Amino acid sequence: MLTSEQHRCSNEKRNFSAEFKRESAQLVVDQKYTVADAAKAMDVGLSTMTRWVKQLRDERQGKTPKASPITPEQIEIRKLRKKLQRIEMENEILKRLPRS
Q: What's the confidence (pLDDT) of residue 68?
A: 79
Per residue in 4-50, pLDDT (tens digit) is 555 554 456 889 998 999 999 999 999 999 999 999 999 999 999 99
Per the CB < 8 A criterion, the answer to whether 62 and 55 are in contact is no
Query: What is the percentage of the chain residues whose pLDDT exceeds 70?
Result: 88
Residue 87 has pLDDT above 50, yes or no: yes
Nearest CA to 39 out of 55, 50, 23 is that of 50
Q: What domains are defined for the chain?
A: 4-71 (1.10.10)
